[in-house]
A and B are shown apart, each in its own frame.
Chain A
């Protein structure tokens, strides 16, 4: 589903965000991307959604070569990839409904269908009856749920979540991550960037560990918490 081959990313200021990163994520897999701030997690997401282009290497998303993708095709790629941001990226002057409906408006879906889908998505993330409210009236956790509803409304094949639990307490974090696990259970490929190792250990999913732009580990935690395998082991990719 996602394949990176010797990806390097150097920003114009000379900062090397990713160095020779290679890995595969299979369809229906749920993978954690772990690492400290500045490890390259966000850059990786920017490359997958073509917000940035790699300096070198090949990146495939759903068999499309994103590194060589024409600008006119980028919008179509982004419709296949739902993204959740730590800062939610919501339109504060619009209602929750408007925010969640945006990806459907963009593809020109009829209004009646949009209403049905938004209602279902809000129900799924536990925000029933909050469609008419402005995001500013919601708590941080609820705002994150709006972001999730918006990311999944278009039924994407891939979900990327960049530090989705960054500002949330443990209970809320668990709830949010469980929503992602639910989507993964129905076949959505999920990639979650986090430095919250508790979540990684709790779910026992495959984990890619980035440090200073390098992939230093590709392993799997057992849900009990014990680390079972190390870098680039094929056994680690049998999840999902």
Chain B
């Protein structure tokens, strides 16, 4: 067992040494693999970030309840408390006309609305309540039922259901996810071909060594072992470099995204890669590299026979 392990360590170190001794070709291959892995990783981050945005709304539609303008502050508070107690409501936020105008100011990008307000003579925005129904009430039918129930409350002017927008957004995300999966599959195939071709060239370059090893009693398992290490290491290093590229890309878009996030009252829109996701990318790279090498070795190694 110790000897078996020692043999693997020996081949691993020898393969690593060979890679270091041919830095240009190693770097070329690793960077190509990194770019191939980067594309699906980037798409994953985009999808996750978008899902995060959607999750901000809990993936559920919001309901905006606009109160009548003549409703007093105390009446508005009372309506808010009654609505809050409704069993279908998970979250409710009361927005005063002053808060509404501040939010409008933020969204419109206007520094000051004083002139416009002075022209109107009064704040035209009514008090409102933003509701988030619970999961059970999040379906279209239940939402319409809830809307009808709320409309019966006194002091309510209009109720707006933001159902269409969230549904559309989620549908776009679903399409994006499918495209991501398809792209990942295609790029995984590309990676297999890239690593496979590199291994093919390595096999070709080491033809004499393979022949002689077979002549002195090397088994196929022994002969293919370094090539499997090559594939795995290429995939592993490619994954590590792709993570570096991903960090660089994240840094580049962080600032503009932060500005966008502030519009949505969020700190950040960018999905922060978790340790488990880092491990998954590394494992995927190594696994794909190993599979590619295995495929290439199966294709080409048996053709080399001692002569």
> Is B305 interfacial (CB-CB < 8 Å)?
yes
A75 to B218, alpha carbons, bound, how many Å?
6
Whether B305 contacts A51 by the Cβ 8 Å rule is yes
**One of B6, B208, B211, B219 near A110 (C-beta < 8 A):** B6
Q: Least Cβ distance of A159 to chain B in Å?
A: 13
Shortest Cβ distance from residue A15 to the other chain B in the assembled complex, whole angstroms: 15
**B7 on the interface (CB 8 Å rule)?**
yes
Q: Is A75 a contact partner of B214 (Cβ separation < 8 A)? A: yes
* Docked CA distance A75–B208 (Å): 17
Residues of B within 8 A of A105 (CB): 10
20 pairs across A/B with beta carbons < 8 Å?
A49-B306, A75-B217, A75-B218, A79-B216, A79-B217, A83-B215, A89-B208, A89-B212, A89-B215, A91-B208, A91-B212, A102-B212, A103-B216, A103-B217, A105-B10, A106-B219, A106-B222, A108-B4, A110-B6, A154-B217
Q: Which B residues fall within an 8 A CB radius of A?
A: 3-4, 6-7, 10, 208-209, 211-220, 222, 305-307
Q: Are B7 and A108 in contact, with the CB atoms below 8 A?
A: yes
Residues of B near A72 (CB, < 8 A) are: 219
- Bound Cα distance from A105 to B217, whole angstroms: 10
Which residues 92-140 of A have a CB within 8 angstroms of B? Answer: 102-103, 105-108, 110-111
Q: Is the CB of B305 within 8 A of A102?
A: no
- Interchain CA distance A83-B4 in the complex, whole Å: 27
Residues of B contacting A150 in the complex (Cβ-Cβ under 8 angstroms)? 216
Residue in A51, A102, A108, A154 whose CB lies within 8 Å of B213: A102
A105–B215 Cα gap in the complex (Å)? 13
In the complex, the chain B residue whose C-beta lies closest to that of A94 is B209
CA distance A117 to B214 in the complex (A): 21
In the bound complex, do residue B217 and residue A106 qualify as a contact, i.e. CB atoms below 8 Å apart? Answer: yes
Assess whether A78 is interfacial by the CB under 8 Å rule. Answer: yes
Minimum distance in angstroms from B15 CB to a CB of chain A: 14
Task: Report yes or no: B306 in contact with A102, Cβ–Cβ below 8 A.
Answer: no
Q: Which residues from B are CB-within-8-Å of A106?
A: 213, 216-219, 222
B3 touches A110 (CB 8 A): yes
Docked pose: A91 CA to B6 CA in angstroms: 23
Cβ A51 vs Cβ B307 within 8 A: yes
Determine chain B's interface SS by DSSP, over half rule: helix
CA distance A75 to B222 in the complex (A): 10
Q: Give the size range of A's interface with the partner.
A: 20 to 34
How many Å from the CB of A118 to the closest CB on chain B?
Answer: 13
Contacts of B211 in A (CB 8 A): 89
- Is A76 close to B, CB under 8 A? yes
Minimum distance in angstroms from A163 CB to a CB of chain B: 15
In the complex, which residues of chain B have a beta carbon less than 8 angstroms from the beta carbon of A75? 214, 217-220, 222
Q: How far is the CB of B141 from chain A (nearest CB, A)?
A: 67
State how many angstroms separate the Cβ of B47 from the closest Cβ of chain A. Answer: 48
CB neighbours of A154 from chain B (8 A): 216-217
**Contact: A91 with B209, CB < 8 Å?**
yes
- Our pick among B3, B10, B222, B306 for the contact of A51 (Cβ within 8 Å) is B306
Chain B residues with CB under 8 Å of A78's CB are 214-217
Contact of A108 among B3, B209, B212 (CB under 8 A): B3
Q: How far is the CA of A89 from the CA of B222 in the complex (A)?
A: 19
B6 with A102: CB separation less than 8 A: no
CB-based nearest B residue for A104: B216
Contact residues in B for A76 (Cβ distance below 8 Å): 217
| A49–B305 CA distance with the chains assembled, in angstroms | 12
| Complex-state Cα separation, A6 to B275, whole angstroms | 68
Q: How far is the CA of A49 from the CA of B212 in the complex (A)?
A: 13
Residues of A within 8 Å of B218, CB to CB, are: 75, 106
Q: Which chain A residue lies CB-closest to B221?
A: A75
Residues in B with CB closer than 8 Å to A89 are 208, 211-212, 215
CA–CA, A79 and B214, complex, Å: 10
Closest to A71 in B: B220
Alpha-carbon gap, A105 to B14, bound state (A) = 13
Closest to B7 in A: A108
Measured CA separation A135–B188 after assembly (Å)? 43
**Set of chain A residues within 8 Å of B4, measured between Cβ atoms:** 108
| Chain B residue at minimum C-beta to C-beta distance from A153 | B216
A146 nearest CB across to chain B (Å) = 12
Cβ–Cβ < 8 Å partners of A91 in chain B: 208-209, 212
List residues of chain B with CB within 8 A of the CB of A108.
3-4, 7
Q: How far is the CB of B202 from chain A (nearest CB, A)?
A: 14
Given A91-B208, A108-B7, decide whether A49 and B215 contact each other with a Cβ distance below 8 A.
yes
A32 CA to B34 CA in the complex, in Å?
Answer: 59
Chain A residue contacts of B214, Cβ below 8 A = 75, 78
Besides the known contacts A72-B219, A91-B209, A108-B3, 7 further A-B residue pairs in the complex with CB atoms under 8 A apart: A51-B215, A75-B219, A76-B217, A79-B216, A106-B218, A110-B3, A154-B217
CA distance A150 to B219 in the complex (A): 17
CB distance from A193 to the nearest CB of B (A): 16
Which residues of chain A are near B220, meaning CB under 8 Å? 75
